[in-house]
């Protein structure tokens, strides 16, 4: 009997990227609106990508099984 393939979570696939070293990168949301009340530092840090912490990395990897 053939092994059943896992389905990729399409929402996660659009928002996450796996780097060459195996880290999972994502971009923070909510940066482009209500920017007048946000500090300069907060807006600048919102443009940078973030990396998924090691504590939840295994859960995220299940959402994108063939990217990892």
Domain extents for the chain?
Answer: 10-63
The pLDDT of residue 48:
93
pLDDT of residue 67: 84
Position 68 pLDDT exceeds 80: no
Report how far residue 56's alpha carbon sits from residue 61's, in angstroms, rounded to the nearest whole number: 9
pLDDT of amino acid 1:
76
- Output the pLDDT for position 12: 93
Q: Quick one: CATH architecture of 10-63?
A: Irregular (4.10)
Residue 14: pLDDT above 90?
yes
Q: What is the pLDDT of residues 35-66, one digit of tens each?
A: 899 999 999 999 999 999 999 999 999 999 98
Instruction: Tell me what pLDDT residue 19 has.
Output: 93
DSSP of 3-65: PPPPPP-HHHHHHEEE-TTS-EEEE-SS-SSSGGGS-HHHHHHHHSEEE--TTTHHHHHHHST
């Amino acid at each position: 009997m053939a092994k059943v393939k896992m389905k990729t979570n399409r929402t996660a696939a659009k928002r996450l990227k796996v780097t060459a070293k195996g880290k999972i990168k994502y971009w923070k949301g909510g940066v482009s609106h209500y920017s007048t009340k946000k500090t300069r530092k907060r807006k600048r840090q919102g443009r940078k990508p973030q990396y998924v912490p090691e504590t939840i990395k295994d859960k995220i990897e299940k959402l994108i099984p063939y990217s990892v």
